[in-house]
Structure 1
Amino acid sequence: MAQPVEVLLRPAVELYTVAVCTGGALLSLLAPWSLALNPLMGVGSALAFATFGALRLHEALVILRYRRNIRRLPRYLMTSRDVPVSQQRLFIGRGFLWEQRHTHRLMQTYRPEFRCYVEPTPAYRLARHLEQRLEFAPFPLSQLAKLAAWDVPLNPVRPLPPVGGMPRLHGIEPQEVDVSLPLGERVGHSLVLGTTRVGKTRLAELFITQDIRRRNRVGEHEVVIVFDPKGDADLLKRMYVEAQRAGRDGELYVFHLGWPDISARYNAVGRFGRISEVATRIAGQLSGEGNSAAFREFAWRFVNIIARALIELGQRPDYLLIQRHVINIDALFIEYAQHYFARTEPKAWEVIVQIEARLNDRTIPRNMIGREKRVIALEQYLSQVRNYDPVLDGLRSAVRYDRTYFDKIVASLLPLLEKLTSGKIAQLLAPDYADLADPRPIFDWMQIIRKRAVVYVGLDALSDAEVAAAVGNSMFSDLVSVAGHIYKFGVDDGLPAVKTSAKADAGAGAGADPKVPINVHADEFNELMGDEFIPMINKGGGAGIQVTAYTQTLSDIEARLGNRAKAGQVVGNFNNLFMLRVRETATAELLTQQLPRVEVYTTTVVSGATDSSDIHGSTDFTSNTQDRISMASVPMIEPSHVVGLPKGQCFALLQGGNLWKVRMPLPAPDPDEAIPADLQQLAGYMRQRYTEASQWWQNIGSPDLQEQVQAQPLPDDLLDDLTDGGAGRDEALP
C-alpha cells in the first residue's frame, strides 16, 4: 500500500475545476435549458456547482498561499500599544510548532524540480538588474527604476524586505498561531543567541514591554532590571514610554556611566547581609588564576579588615573610602584606636603619647620604617597591654607589614579601585548620602524590589569595557546577595508591618511570602560575565529572579570565563533557548543536537526498458516506469538552517524541548511615544556616540557640559587666528 506524500509545491490544478464549476453554475442559472434542466433544477445545480467550486477554490488558495510564503512572507507589524500583556503567558510572536511534516516540506524545497517555486522569478531578477543599471541614469529612466522598487502590494516585482535569510524556513507553514511562554517557565531562565543586528534587541523590547506593563491579580507590578552594556538609545526610550503608559514613570531609575550628570546613583557595597560580602564583591573581580590567587586572597582579607573597621566607626563602606584606606591604612588604624580606647581605656592615649615622644630612628623597628610615629606608638602599646579586639588586631596585622612589601601585595587591588573611583563615576558609585541638594536619586536592589521599580543600567562598555565589567559584576554580586536574603527571610523582612518572629526558620521564611518576580534582562551579558553571574542563574530562581540573557555565540561566554566547563555550566542553567541567526556552527549545534531525528518520505522515479530475446515475436521491448516511496532518517533541522534565518525570526526551544519556529512583530510607528527633553537629549547623544565611532574626538562629556561649551564664546585671540586663515580648525571643534 502506497504511503501518502504531501506535495504543496506544484501548479494549482484545482483552479481548472473552479473554472469549470463557475461556468456550470452560470449556465445553470442563465441557460438551464442548455443542460436539459428546468429553472428550479437549474438553481439547485448552480448551488451544487458553487459548493464544489468553493471547496476546490479553498484547496487552490492553500497551494497559492504556500507558494507565495515560500518566496515572501506577509508583513507582520505591531505597535507597542498593541502588544498583548497576559498574567499567565509571555507573548513572543507568531509561528508554529515544528514537526516532522515541516522537515519533510523543507527537504522538498531543495529538490531541483521545485526550484521554480522557491527561487525568485525571472521578472523579479530583471527588475533588480534594472535598478542597479538605472540608478544613475537620466531623469526618465531613473523613474523607471523607482517604479520597479515601489514597495506596494500592487507591484508584482517589488523588492523583498531587507531581512535576508531564507523565507522558506517560515513559509512552509501557512497556518500561524500566537506563540507564548507560560510565566511559570521563566523562572528557569532564558538564553537568546544571535549575531549582531538580527533582532535580539527587538526581542528584548518585546519582553521588557510586557514585563513593565504586567500586573498580578492584586494589581502589583513586577520588578524589571535591564543591563545594557553598550547603551541602546531605542531600548531606553522604549522603557520610558512603557513605564509612562503603565503609570510607573515615577518608579523608573536610569543609571548610566556615560552620563553621570543625569544618572541615578548606586553604592555597590553599601548594603549587605554580612560584612564579608563587601570584600567578596570587590576581591571577586580580581584574577584568581595561577599565582594571582594568593594576591586575591590577601586583597579579600585586607578589604574585609577595612570594611569591619568602617562599620564599627559608623561609616557606610563605599569605593572611595576603601580606596583611601588601602592607600593609607595608618589613618584608619589611628581613628579606630581612638574610637576603641575612648570606650575601653580613656587614659591609654596618655601612655601612647609618651611612647611616641621617646621614638627615634634607632628605636623604630625595621618593618615599621615609613609609618607614622603615632602608629608605631600604638603598636608598641598594644603589644604590652595585650588587649583583644578582632578589628583592632586585624588593623595591627596590616600595619606590621613592611611598607614596600605591603604596596606590592595590594598592587592588584588598587587598579580596580582606580577604575571605579575616577572622575565623575565616583559620584555615582560612592554617593554622598548627606548631600540633600543633589537631585540624583540613590537606589539599592532591596529598595528597587520592594518598590516594584524599573531600572535601566547603561554601562558604557564601548568607552571603557574594564569599568563596565567591574560595575556590572559588582551589581550582579549585590543582586545575588539580595536574592539570598529574600530567599531566607522574604521581601518584607525588617519592615514594621511584618512579624519577623514568625520567620525564624529559613524554610518557613521562604514560603511565607509570595515570590516577587524579578525580571533581569542582560543584553550582551558575555561582557558582564563573571563568577558572580553563575550563582544568580543557578540559585536565584528560588528568590524569584528570572534572567533573560542575550549574547552572540557560545564562544563569547567561554572566552569571558576562560573555561569551557564553566561556560557549559552557565548554558546548562537556561531552560528556554531562543536561537536567532548565528554564524558559528558550534552555537547552532547547541540547538540542533538537542533535537531528535525524524523520518521523511522520499519519492524516486524508476524507469527501465528490456529487450525481447525472441526475434520472431511481435514485441521488441518492454518498458517500465515506477514511482517508489521510501523513508529516510534526517535531523529535524540542520545548523545551516539556523545560519539562514531571516532577521527577526528564531527557533525557540520551550517547555522541555518543544521546538517552535517564531517570527517577531516589526515595530510600527506610534505617534504618542514622547519622552521628556532630558531623556530625549540623552537618547540622541547615545545614538550619535555609539553609531558614529569615527568621531569619538568630538565627544566631550555629558549633554549639559556640551551645551555649556557650545554656548561659551571663543577667546578673541583664537577668533583672530581663525580669521587669519585657520578656519580649518573650526571643523574640529565640537
Structure 2
Amino acid sequence: MAQTQPVEVLLRPAVELYTVAVCAGAAILCVVAPWSLALNPSLGVGSALAFAVFGAIRFRQAQAILRYRRNIRRLPRYVMTSRDVPVSQQRLFIGKGFLWEQKHTHRLTQTYRPEFRRYVEPTPAYRLARRLEERLEFAPFPLSHWARLTAWDVPLNPVRPLPPVGGLPRLHGIEPQEVDVSLPLGERVGHSLVLGTTRVGKTRLAELFITQDIRRKNSTGEHEVVIVFDPKGDADLLKRMYVEAKRAGREGEFYVFHLGWPDISARYNAVGRFGRISEVATRIAGQLSGEGNSAAFREFAWRFVNIVARALIELGQRPDYLLIQRHVVNIDALFIEYAQHYFAKTEPKAWEVIVQLEARLNDRNIPRNMVGREKRVVALEQYLSQARNYDPVLDGLRSAVRYDKTYFDKIVASLLPLLEKLTSGKIAQLLAPNYSDLNDPRPIFDWMQIIRKRAVVYVGLDALSDAEVAAAVGNSMFSDLVSVAGHIYKFGIDDGLPGANAGQKVPINLHADEFNELMGDEFIPMINKGGGAGIQVTAYTQTLSDIEARLGNRAKAGQVIGNFNNLFMLRVRETATAELLTKQLPKVEVYTTTVVSGATDSSDIHGKTDFTSNTQDRISMTSVPMIEPAHIVQLPKGQCFALMQGGALWKVRMPLPAPDPDESMPQDLQQLAEYMRQSYTETGQWWENQGIPGLQEQSLPDTLLDDEPVDAASRDADHDEAAP
C-alpha cells in the first residue's frame, strides 16, 4: 500500500487481496506445473519465491486496510491487571495511544463523508441481531434463549455486541499503530488536571496513577509519599491502595482516615502542628466567608481564635477544635486560667488583692459591659486596669472579655457553626485526638510525620452523608498541607533531626478526587507554590463550572486552571469545558476532493463535433480545528485526550481493570470496603439506598458498631462469674 497520492484514503475495499490471490495461484502453478509457464523446475521454484514475496508485501498492505476498517468499528480489548502495570523511575504510564497529528484530523474528517458510511456504521447483520435481542427478551422459553447466542461476547461471534463504553470507536481507531503513552516524572511537578463527567473512567485513571506512585522507588530505594483525598468514598479505590501498599511492602505505612467510620479511622489534628502560631487562626477563620459584610466578622473571628490559640500555647496545651470551641463559647474560664498561670510566675500575691476585689462586687457596682461575666473575671479586669502589667496574651484575653457578652456572642456567631461541624459526635475524636490516651489503638498522624515516613494516606470524607463537614475537614487539611509545604520549602523535610539535609525534598503525590468539593482559597497557593516543596497535585473533577461555582469567582477559577500544566480530558458534557482543550490547539490543513463534470456545445454547425465533455477530480485544502468540542463529547469511556509536555496532544485509552480479589486486606478494611460499596449508591439509584444493609445480621465486628454504654456493676458481675 504505497502512499503516492496526496489524499490518503484508507476507507476502501482491500483491492490488494486480488493481487495476493493472483500471486498465490501463480506461485502454486510455478511449483506444481512449471512446464505450463515454459519453466523448468529450478526456475519454477525461483519464480514461486518471487511471487510469494510480492504476495506477502501486498498481503501486508491489505492487512493494514482491513485492520484500519476493523478498528473504526471495534477496538481490540485492552485489559491489564494491577500487577502488570509498569512502574518506571523516569515516566508515569498512562495507557496506549498515539500522538495526534494532521493526518488523524484528515482521517477523522473522512469518516463523516456519506460515501464511507458503510465502513463506519454497524453492519446490517449487527443491527438485525440487536433488534432480535430486544424482541426476544420477553419471548417464550425456546426463543428467549436464542438471543443469548447473538449476545455471546466471544471473538467467534460475527455479530458480537460492542463493549458498553459508548462514544465513537473511530476517534481512536483512526491510528492502528498504538504505542505506550507516558508522562515524564519531571513534568508532574507542574500538576495535572483530569476532567470528565460521571462514570467515564476518572477513578480508573486515578487508580492507575496511584498504583505507580505507591510502588515507585527512587535510585536510593526510597518510596514516595502518596496522599489521596476521596470525598465520596470509593471502596474499590481504598482496596486498590491497600493491596498495592502491601504488594510494595508498605502496609505498615498505610493510614486510613474516614469520617464515616470513626471507630477504625486514624486520628488527625488539623491545627495541632504549625510553624507560626497565627497559622491556627488562619486555618480556621479562612473557611469563613470573606465576601461583603462578612469580611469584618471573619477578621474578628481570626483575631479571637488567635488570642485563644496563643493562650493555649502559653499554658502548654496543644490547640485543637474542641479546646478552641470550648473557649469561644466560654472565654471567662480561659481568662482565669491564664491569669493564674501568669500571676504565679510574676506576682504571686496578686490573687490576694483579686479575691478582695471579688468579695466587694455586687450587682450594683459591676460595670454595664461586664454584666453576665463571672465576678472573678470582673475582679481581674479591675485589678489589671490599676496594675502596670504588660503581657500580650493577657491583654488579648482582657480585650475579649471587656466586650458586652451579648454583643460578643453576635460577632462570633459566624465562627460557632464551623466549629460545631468539626466537633459534633464521634468526629470530635478524630479531629481533636487525646494524645494521652494510651488505650486507644487508632494512630494519630500529621502531614510532616507522613512525609518523613513516606507513608500512604487515604482520606475518605464521606461527602455523600454530610457535604458541609467534608468540605470543612478537607479545607483544613489543605490549609495544613500548605503550611507544611512552606516549611519544607525553607528547611527541608528533616529540619530539626540529627544529620538533617536542609535542601532535601521528596515527591509528595497528592491526588484529589472531586477536588471542587474540597477546594477553597487554600488550594490556590498549594498548586501555585507547592511545587517548590515537591508537591505534585493531580486533581479530578467534572467541569470548569464546578470550580467556578465553588470559588464563586471566574477570575479565581481561571487562576486555578492556569496552574495545571498537564490536562487529561475524558468525555465531558459541557462545551465550555471541552473548549478548554480545543482552543489551545492550532488549526490544520486537510485535503478535500471534489468531482467536477461539464459539457460544452460546439458553435460550429458544420463541424463533426456537437459537444465536448470533461470530468475532473479537484484537490483543495481546508483549514479546520485539530479537534472539535463535539469529538470530546463523543469519547468512549476509558479514553481521553491528553495535552502534556508543552502542548503535545495525545489520544490515549486506559487499560480495563482485570478482577483482583481483596482477600489480602485486613478483615476490618474488607468490611469497610464492602459497606462503602453498598451504602454509597449513585444519585440515579437513590431509591435503592436502604442505609447500611446487613446491620440486622450483625456482620460487622463490634468495633465498627456503636457500642451501647455498659453498666459498670453488670460488667464487674460478669467478670466475677468468669473468674475461677
Give yes or no for TM over 0.5: yes
* Equivalent residue for 1:222, pick from 224, 230, 233: 224
Residue 553 of structure 2 is matched in structure 1 by: 563
Scaled by the length of structure 1, the TM-score of the pair is 0.94
* Equivalent residue for 1:240, pick from 228, 239, 242: 242
- Counterpart of 2:556, as a letter, is K
Question: 2:668 matched to 1:678?
Answer: yes
* Distance in 2, Cα, partners of 1:703 & 1:711: 15
- Counterpart of 1:603, as a letter, is T
- Counterpart of 1:535, as a letter, is P
* Distance in 2, Cα, partners of 1:321 & 1:210: 40
* Distance in 2, Cα, partners of 1:706 & 1:604: 75
* Equivalent residue for 2:413, pick from 408, 411, 414: 411
Q: State the Cα deviation string for residues 458-512 of structure 1 (Å, max 9, x = none).
A: 000011100000000000000000000000000000112327xxxxxxxxx4xx3
Q: State the Cα deviation string for residues 82-110 of structure 1 (Å, max 9, x = none).
A: 00000000000000000000000000001
* Equivalent residue for 1:496, pick from 495, 498, 503: 498
Residue 645 of structure 1 is matched in structure 2 by: 635
Query: What is the aligned residue count?
Result: 699
CA contact (8 A) 2:568 2:641 kept: yes
Residue 724 of structure 1 is matched in structure 2 by: none
Superposition pairs for residues 45-444 of structure 1, below 5 Å? 45-444=47-446
Residue 731 of structure 1 is matched in structure 2 by: none
* Distance in 1, Cα, partners of 2:132 & 2:704: 48
- Counterpart of 1:637, as a letter, is I
Residue 687 of structure 2 is matched in structure 1 by: 694
Distance change in 2, residues 1:612/1:131 (3 Å): same
Q: State the Cα deviation string for residues 561-600 of structure 1 (Å, max 9, x = none).
A: 0000000000000000000000000000000000000011
* Distance in 2, Cα, partners of 1:576 & 1:643: 20
TM-fit CA distance, 1:706:
9.7
Question: Which runs of 5 or more residues in structure 1 are unaligned?
Answer: 500-508, 713-734
Superposition pairs for residues 707-726 of structure 1, below 5 Å? none
* Distance in 2, Cα, partners of 1:154 & 1:710: 57
Question: 2:613 matched to 1:623?
Answer: yes
* Distance in 2, Cα, partners of 1:353 & 1:709: 47
SS in 1 for 2:680: helix
TM-fit CA distance, 1:670:
3.3
SS in 2 for 1:217: coil
* Equivalent residue for 2:475, pick from 473, 476, 500: 473
Residue 728 of structure 1 is matched in structure 2 by: none
SS in 2 for 1:261: coil
Residue 17 of structure 1 is matched in structure 2 by: 19
- Which 10-residue stretch deviates more, 670-679 or 605-614? 670-679
SS in 1 for 2:567: strand
CA contact (8 A) 2:95 2:654 kept: yes
TM-fit CA distance, 1:386:
2.0
TM-fit CA distance, 1:65:
0.2
Percentage of identical aligned residues: 87
Residue 659 of structure 2 is matched in structure 1 by: 669
Residue 502 of structure 1 is matched in structure 2 by: none
Scaled by the length of structure 2, the TM-score of the pair is 0.95
* Distance in 2, Cα, partners of 1:707 & 1:481: 34
Question: 2:623 matched to 1:633?
Answer: yes
TM-fit CA distance, 1:610:
1.4
Q: State the Cα deviation string for residues 45-93 of structure 1 (Å, max 9, x = none).
A: 0000000000000000000000000000000000000000000000000
CA contact (8 A) 2:190 2:536 kept: yes
TM-fit CA distance, 1:362:
1.4
Question: Which runs of 5 or more residues in structure 2 are unaligned?
Answer: 710-724
- Counterpart of 1:689, as a letter, is S
CA contact (8 A) 2:264 2:704 kept: no
- Counterpart of 1:330, as a letter, is D
Q: State the Cα deviation string for residues 253-302 of structure 1 (Å, max 9, x = none).
A: 00000000000000000000000000000000000000000000000000
Residue 714 of structure 2 is matched in structure 1 by: none
* Distance in 2, Cα, partners of 1:670 & 1:486: 38
TM-fit CA distance, 1:619:
1.9
- Counterpart of 2:691, as a letter, is Q
TM-fit CA distance, 1:142:
1.5
Distance change in 2, residues 1:581/1:14 (3 Å): same
- Counterpart of 1:698, as a letter, is G
Q: State the Cα deviation string for residues 672-709 of structure 1 (Å, max 9, x = none).
A: 76312111100111111111643556349994469868
CA contact (8 A) 1:685 1:703 kept: no
SS in 2 for 1:262: coil
* Distance in 2, Cα, partners of 1:325 & 1:524: 34
- Counterpart of 1:384, as a letter, is Q
Question: 2:573 matched to 1:580?
Answer: no
* Distance in 1, Cα, partners of 2:662 & 2:413: 54
TM-fit CA distance, 1:617:
2.5
Distance change in 2, residues 1:705/1:561 (3 Å): farther
CA contact (8 A) 1:3 1:629 kept: no
* Distance in 2, Cα, partners of 1:698 & 1:120: 43
SS in 2 for 1:147: helix
* Distance in 2, Cα, partners of 1:73 & 1:674: 34
TM-fit CA distance, 1:618:
2.2
TM-fit CA distance, 1:134:
0.5
TM-fit CA distance, 1:3:
5.9
Residue 547 of structure 1 is matched in structure 2 by: 537
SS in 2 for 1:52: helix
* Distance in 2, Cα, partners of 1:252 & 1:351: 56
TM-fit CA distance, 1:602:
0.7
- Counterpart of 1:560, as a letter, is R
* Distance in 2, Cα, partners of 1:440 & 1:91: 35
* Distance in 1, Cα, partners of 2:129 & 2:137: 12
Residue 7 of structure 1 is matched in structure 2 by: 9
SS in 2 for 1:497: coil
Residue 717 of structure 2 is matched in structure 1 by: none
